[in-house]
């Protein structure tokens, strides 16, 4: 493992910065016509300098933004979901607690650098490069978050951590309709990389694998994206439904403390405060079968209108999706069927109150090997203060009308660690010390 420090953001690849390069690039961008006119007229391209920079470089990527890495909680949970995701499940090969601590320190320093951006250190002329170069000479943060979690297997007898395990953390076992692939399930560690652009997540993936290869190996990986909001409001999943409407408010600390963050002085070990249980379920969608279902029936299966995302009592296409479904006047499920997805996920009864709120932050995946065979679905993601909330909810969903159209194939249960507080802190410090 290497643990390199990084240079500030505003420098280029060492030794490769050419003062003339900006001019050369601009003249290329302006295209043949502009170039010919300039040369024929004997004028310099200096007139272009009057253009706003974005006009002069129309293909420039959008401005990169930074999501702070340090904090009481990890970023990537309450953070509004970025466009792209990579999940990386790792098995730890470190041979003792010291090497495991080194691994967490390395993950911390890589996350600190990648999420802030900067210039990778210069390699000796005969040494391999210190960075893949995918993001150019200066790494842009690009809204990257890196969220790290631990699986139940990390608490086996390898590192002597058994007594410190979060009390509800267990390996994921199959629900009634699951068809779990072991090669796509579980893991000692889970790294969730989210960013505004795909090259940024891929760059981070390669960086993490390179820097951790002596202490961890890749177990499984899945890439996802968030489809755009169409026409507005909430994004749509591959079934064409607006997905992610009913969620606790991530900007309301009271709701987040009630439903998502593990609290100090709870039944959990003290080190776990500020963390949360992280569930990933890789759920295959049977798109071809779904395509044959009339829209009115699809709506009864989900429990919301397809076009608007509104509750079933709404009829207009423009009814806002933020309206709450109401079941008190519909005990028999004539409007919202009793076995519809949302009614089983959250039946709105006093008995189910404590097991009906999770923070969903899912992504859509497409792993189709070719156009004849679709392998598309949901990298279903949720965070909750108690793993039992998710498990109870999923057991209710074993009876849902959506069952024939989806097959869960992988994922796992993890505990997303508390945040890294400052420059001196590192992932899992409380767990390991
Ligand atoms: C993988 C296939 C799934 C699909 C296609 C799906 C789709 C949807 C859709 C379209 C909605 C309605 C809009 C919204 O409120 O976001 C919804 C709501 C919801 N889903 Fe899912 N979902 C899936 C899996 C799950 C799983 C595995 C869980 C948890 C065990 C879950 C829990 C919920 C909850 C809690 C709601 C909000 C219910 C409410 O309060 O009204 N979903 N889902």
Closest Cα partner for 349 from 372, 330, 368?
A: 330
Rounded mean pLDDT, 367-383: 92
Whether residues 342 and 379 fall in one domain: yes
Residue nearest to atom 7 of ligand 1 (CA): 243
Whether residues 315 and 360 fall in one domain: yes
User: Is residue 122 situated within a structural domain?
Assistant: yes
In ligand 1, the atom with minimum distance to the C-alpha of 238 is: 5
Helix, coil or strand: residue 88: strand
Rounded mean pLDDT, 318-331: 94
In ligand 1, the atom with minimum distance to the C-alpha of 283 is: 1
User: Is residue 7 situated within a structural domain?
Assistant: no
User: Is residue 79 situated within a structural domain?
Assistant: no
Whether residues 180 and 315 fall in one domain: yes
CA dist 146 → 169, 201, 274, 411 (Å): 21, 9, 16, 18
Tell me the whole-structure pTM to 2 decimals: 0.88
Whether 236 has a pLDDT exceeding 80, the answer reads yes
Please give the DSSP secondary-structure letter assigned to residue 51: S
Q: What is the pLDDT of residues 107-146, one digit of tens each?
A: 999 999 999 999 999 999 999 999 999 999 999 999 999 9
Whether residues 312 and 354 fall in one domain: yes
What pLDDT does residue 61 have? 53
In ligand 1, the atom with minimum distance to the C-alpha of 380 is: 1
Whether residues 218 and 269 fall in one domain: yes
Helix, coil or strand: residue 301: helix
Whether residues 273 and 390 fall in one domain: yes
Residue nearest to atom 31 of ligand 1 (CA): 345
Whether residues 40 and 134 fall in one domain: no
Rounded distance from Cα 360 to ligand 1 centre (Å): 8
Whether 289 has a pLDDT exceeding 70, the answer reads yes
Rounded distance from Cα 142 to ligand 1 centre (Å): 29
Whether residues 39 and 184 fall in one domain: no
User: Is residue 73 situated within a structural domain?
Assistant: no
Q: Is 365 in the pocket of ligand 1 (CB under 6 A)?
A: no
Q: Residue 283, Cα to own-chain centre: how many angstroms?
A: 15
What pLDDT does residue 370 have? 80
What pLDDT does residue 234 have? 95
Task: Give residue 48's domain range.
Answer: 21-56
Count Cβ atoms within 10 A of the Cβ of residue 389 and give its class: 0-12 exposed, 13-18 middle, 19 or more buried: buried
Dump the DSSP string for 356-387. Answer: S--EE--EEEE--SBTTB--EEEEEEEEES-H
Q: Ligand 1, from 342, 361, 405, 407: best to mutate by most atoms within 8 Å of Cβ?
A: 342
Query: Among 29-43, 198-212, 359-373, which range has the highest average pLDDT?
Result: 198-212
What pLDDT does residue 369 have? 86
User: Is residue 390 situated within a structural domain?
Assistant: yes
Q: Please provide residue 146's backbone torsions phi and psi, each rounded to the nearest 5 degrees.
A: -130, 115
List of E strands, 33-118 = 84-92
Q: Is 245 in the pocket of ligand 1 (CB under 6 A)?
A: yes
Rounded mean pLDDT, 241-251: 97
User: Is residue 32 situated within a structural domain?
Assistant: yes
Tell me how many domains the chain contains.
2
Whether residues 223 and 335 fall in one domain: yes
Please give the DSSP secondary-structure letter assigned to residue 37: H
Confidence of residue 197 (pLDDT cuts 50, 70, 90): very high
Residue nearest to atom 42 of ligand 1 (CA): 345
Whether residues 290 and 350 fall in one domain: yes
Q: Ligand 1, from 301, 308, 360: best to mutate by most atoms within 8 Å of Cβ?
A: 360
Q: What is the pLDDT of residues 62-101, one digit of tens each?
A: 579 999 999 999 999 999 999 999 999 999 999 999 999 9
Looking at per-residue confidence, does 28 or 221 come out higher?
Answer: 221
| CA–CA separation, 291 and 117 (whole Å) | 43
Q: What is the pLDDT of residues 388-399, one digit of tens each?
A: 999 999 999 999
Whether residues 417 and 379 fall in one domain: yes
Sign, CA dihedral 341-347-351-356, equals: positive
Q: How far apart, in Å, do the first and last CA atoms of the chain sit?
A: 21
Q: Is 393 in the pocket of ligand 1 (CB under 6 A)?
A: yes
| CA–CA separation, 276 and 411 (whole Å) | 17
Provide the total of helices (H) and of strands (E) in the chain, helices listed first.
11, 9
Whether residues 154 and 47 fall in one domain: no
Residue nearest to atom 25 of ligand 1 (CA): 380
Whether 430 has a pLDDT exceeding 80, the answer reads yes
Rounded distance from Cα 381 to ligand 1 centre (Å): 10
Looking at per-residue confidence, does 355 or 61 come out higher?
Answer: 355
Whether 173 has a pLDDT exceeding 50, the answer reads yes
Mean pLDDT across the chain: 89
| CA–CA separation, 426 and 419 (whole Å) | 9
Q: Is 246 in the pocket of ligand 1 (CB under 6 A)?
A: yes
| CA–CA separation, 309 and 241 (whole Å) | 7
Residue nearest to atom 41 of ligand 1 (CA): 342
* Contact in structure between 392 and 355 (CB atoms under 8 Å): yes
Pairing of the two strands 216-225 and 84-92: antiparallel
- Alpha-carbon Rg of the chain, whole angstroms? 25
Question: What count of residues does the chain have?
Answer: 433
User: Is residue 185 situated within a structural domain?
Assistant: yes
* Contact in structure between 84 and 198 (CB atoms under 8 Å): yes
Q: Is 304 in the pocket of ligand 1 (CB under 6 A)?
A: yes
What pLDDT does residue 59 have? 55
User: Is residue 422 situated within a structural domain?
Assistant: yes
Whether 159 has a pLDDT exceeding 50, the answer reads yes
Q: What is the pLDDT of residues 257-283, one digit of tens each?
A: 999 999 999 999 999 999 999 999 999
Whether 42 has a pLDDT exceeding 90, the answer reads no
| CA–CA separation, 281 and 390 (whole Å) | 11
């Amino acid at each position: 493992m290497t643990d390199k420090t990084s240079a500030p953001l505003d420098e280029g690849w060492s030794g490769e910065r050419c003062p003339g390069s900006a001019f050369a690039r601009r003249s290329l961008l302006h295209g043949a016509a502009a170039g010919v006119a300039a040369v024929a007229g004997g004028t310099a391209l200096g007139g272009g300098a009057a253009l706003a920079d974005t006009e002069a470089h129309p293909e420039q990527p959008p401005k990169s933004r930074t999501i702070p890495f340090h904090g009481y909680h990890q970023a990537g949970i309450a953070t509004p979901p970025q466009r792209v995701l990579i999940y990386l499940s790792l098995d730890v090969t470190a041979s003792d607690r010291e090497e495991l601590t080194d691994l967490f320190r390395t993950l911390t320093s890589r996350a600190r650098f990648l999420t802030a951006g900067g210039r990778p250190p210069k390699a000796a002329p005969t040494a391999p490069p210190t960075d893949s170069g995918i993001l150019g000479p200066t790494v842009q943060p690009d809204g990257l978050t890196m969220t790290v979690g631990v699986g139940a297997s990390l608490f086996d007898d390898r590192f002597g951590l058994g007594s410190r395990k979060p009390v509800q953390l267990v390996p994921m076992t199959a629900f009634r309709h699951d068809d779990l692939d072991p090669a796509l399930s579980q893991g000692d560690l889970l790294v969730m990389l989210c960013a505004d652009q795909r090259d940024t997540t891929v760059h981070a993936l390669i960086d993490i694998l390179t820097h951790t290869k002596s202490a961890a190996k890749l177990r499984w990986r899945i890439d996802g994206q968030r489809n755009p909001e169409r026409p507005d409001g909430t994004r749509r999943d591959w079934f064409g439904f607006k997905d992610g409407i009913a969620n606790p408010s991530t900007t309301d600390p009271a709701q987040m403390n009630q439903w998502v963050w593990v609290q100090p002085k709870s039944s959990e070990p003290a080190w776990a405060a500020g963390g949360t249980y992280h569930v990933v379920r890789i759920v295959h969608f049977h798109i071809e079968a779904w395509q044959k279902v009339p829209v009115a029936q699809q709506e009864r299966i989900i429990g919301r209108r397809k076009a608007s995302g509104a509750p079933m009592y709404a009829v207009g296409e423009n009814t806002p999706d933020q309206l709450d479904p109401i079941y008190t006047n519909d005990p028999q499920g004539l409007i919202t069927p009793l076995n519809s997805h949302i009614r089983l996920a959250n039946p709105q009864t006093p008995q189910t109150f404590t097991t009906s709120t999770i923070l969903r932050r899912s992504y859509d995946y497409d792993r189709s090997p070719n156009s004849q065979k679709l392998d598309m679905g949901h990298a279903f993601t949720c965070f909750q203060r108690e793993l039992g909330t998710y498990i109870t909810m999923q057991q209710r969903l074993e009876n849902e009308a959506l069952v024939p159209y989806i097959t869960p194939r992988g994922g796992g249960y993890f505990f997303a660690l508390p945040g890294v507080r400052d420059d001196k802190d590192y992932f899992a410090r409380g767990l390991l010390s």
